[in-house]
């Protein structure tokens, strides 16, 4: 369940209120009228959020004027009755594209913590590769932050955000360069850490012994391709649900961090030790790494499109305090003193009413009635409706 808060100036209030009630069919709208603005609050199920936000943006709400805030509700009382199950499976994202964008952008950003985790994860992956210890390698996957920039690249492609795409690409390259460097440093320090590593790698290759180092030096197989595709699709589904779990990060890191460190370590050993075997393992790891990066991005971008993520509107309303909003001379949905006149709302021309959908009368429970100051309230009264009927007769 999400809570939507819409703030608009009073000169736009009639059209926005009518659009939310009549066209969007919101039946739990609460309004707070301020001196120069209107504050609208309502709740929607997660499955309806993305479509509703897109409809508001198409009417330029939150784009040219007003603000839209989306708040997560862990629980809400009273509970709404369960809606009947739909015959079609809901595949749209349960988060608005703006929410997904903020989450991905934060994880794709370069920071001290990001760089520290890259160095620590790469060092642990290197030690795990040298010792052929899968437990240490898995621990390095848990620390690796490579998932963030990869998501930035994929999401930037789908929503057409060049800045996010470039940011994710640059930060991913920086993280990979650090991983290569850590692997190279480990290779240079190998005489002190594992003096016989080079001879062990050459022997394993000659005897077709598969270790954590040599298995990444062979040409990648169909299984490696499947892992990359499934990992990219899984992380895309996860982020559209707001579930940035560690397990998805492991799926991405498993295909990136170990081969990245292996590239730096084996290429350096091959050059320093003049070993063709180690150099070939490094080249094979580089091919595996490039394949993983490309397929993960393609799979994530494809899943984002399946989840119907759309581009973020480029123009955005600049924040200004409500006190600076233009004061409107009249309100909406107010009952004029002269009962022979029509509702004042009918005299208001608005540019946000959905002209394609036939207007329908909103339920009496959400129609505002006059308060003590002449402004609208969240609910109407049957006594007012009776009085209107009497005056018209």
* Rounded Cα–Cα distance for residues 264 and 267 (Å): 6
Q: What is the model's pLDDT at position 123? A: 94
Residues 115 and 201 reside in one and the same domain: yes
Residues 129 and 257 reside in one and the same domain: yes
| Least confident span in 260-264, 293-297, 388-392 | 388-392
Residues 299 and 153 reside in one and the same domain: yes
The chain-wide mean pLDDT, for the chain, equals 76
Token pair for residue 387?
Answer: 């009085």
* Rounded Cα–Cα distance for residues 360 and 381 (Å): 19
Domain of residue 381, residue span: 2-92+314-392
Section 183-189 average pLDDT:
93
Residues 277 and 323 reside in one and the same domain: no
Q: Where are the beta strands (DSSP E) in the chain?
A: 2-9, 30-33, 37-44, 67-72
Phi-psi region of 257 (alpha: psi -120 to 50; beta: other; left: phi over 0): alpha
* Rounded Cα–Cα distance for residues 116 and 195 (Å): 28
CATH number (domain holding residue 147): 1.20.1080
| Least confident span in 112-116, 307-311, 333-337 | 333-337
Closest-CA residue to 250 (of 358, 145, 113, 179) = 145
Residues 6 or more apart whose CB falls under 8 angstroms from that of 314 comprise none
Q: 242, 274, 306: which is the final residue of a domain? A: 306
Residues 112 and 209 reside in one and the same domain: yes
The whole-model pTM stands at 0.66
* Rounded Cα–Cα distance for residues 213 and 223 (Å): 17
**What proportion of the chain, given as a percentage, has pLDDT over 70?**
72
Residues 238 and 350 reside in one and the same domain: no
Residues 296 and 326 reside in one and the same domain: no
Section 318-325 average pLDDT:
48
Residues 191 and 109 reside in one and the same domain: yes
Report pLDDT digits (tens) over 202-249.
Answer: 888 888 888 989 988 877 788 888 888 888 888 888 888 776 665 566
CB 87 within 8 A of CB 18: no
Q: What is the model's pLDDT at position 62? A: 84
Residues 138 and 286 reside in one and the same domain: yes
Q: 261, 280, 306: which is the final residue of a domain? A: 306
Residues 242 and 334 reside in one and the same domain: no
Residues 30 and 144 reside in one and the same domain: no
What is the number of residues in the chain?
Answer: 393
Residues 270 and 183 reside in one and the same domain: yes
């Amino acid at each position: 369940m999400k809570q939507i808060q819409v703030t608009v100036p009073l000169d736009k209030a009639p059209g926005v209120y009518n659009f939310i009630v009549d066209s969007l069919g919101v039946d739990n709208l609460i309004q707070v009228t301020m001196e120069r603005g209107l504050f609208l609050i309502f709740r929607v199920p997660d499955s309806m959020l993305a479509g509703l936000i897109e409809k508001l943006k198409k009417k330029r709400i939150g784009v040219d004027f007003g603000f839209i805030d989306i708040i997560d509700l862990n629980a809400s009382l009273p509970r709404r009755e369960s809606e009947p199950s739909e015959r079609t499976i809901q595949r749209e994202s349960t988060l608005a594209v703006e929410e997904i964008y903020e989450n991905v952008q934060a994880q794709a950003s370069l920071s001290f913590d990001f760089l520290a985790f890259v160095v620590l994860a790469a060092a642990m992956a290197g030690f795990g590769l040298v010792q052929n210890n899968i437990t240490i390698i898995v621990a390095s996957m848990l620390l690796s932050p490579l998932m963030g920039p990869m998501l930035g690249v994929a999401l930037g492609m789908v929503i057409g955000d060049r800045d996010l795409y470039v940011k994710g690409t640059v930060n991913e390259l920086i993280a990979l360069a650090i991983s290569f460097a850590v692997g190279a440093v480990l290779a240079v320090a190998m005489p002190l850490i594992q003096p016989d590593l080079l001879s062990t790698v050459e022997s394993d290759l000659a005897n077709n012994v598969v270790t954590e180092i040599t298995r990444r030096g062979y040409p990648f197989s169909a299984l490696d391709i499947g892992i990359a595709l499934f990992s990219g699709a899984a992380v895309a589904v996860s982020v559209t649900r707001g579930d940035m779990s560690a397990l998805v990060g492991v799926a991405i890191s498993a295909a990136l961090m170990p081969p990245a460190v292996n590239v730096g370590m084996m290429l350096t050993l091959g050059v320093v030790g003049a070993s063709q075997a180690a150099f070939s393992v490094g080249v094979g790891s580089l091919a595996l790494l490039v394949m993983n990066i490309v397929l993960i991005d393609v799979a994530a971008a494809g899943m984002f499109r399946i989840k119907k993520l759309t581009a973020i509107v480029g123009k955005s309303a600049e924040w200004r305090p409500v006190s600076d909003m233009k004061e409107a001379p009249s309100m909406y949905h107010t009952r004029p003193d002269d009962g022979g006149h029509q509702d004042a709302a009918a005299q208001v021309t608005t540019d946000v009413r959905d002209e394609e959908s036939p207007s329908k009368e909103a339920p009496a429970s959400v129609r505002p009635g006059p308060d003590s100051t002449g402004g609208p309230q969240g609910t109407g009264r049957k006594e007012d409706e009776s009085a209107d009927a009497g005056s018209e007769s």
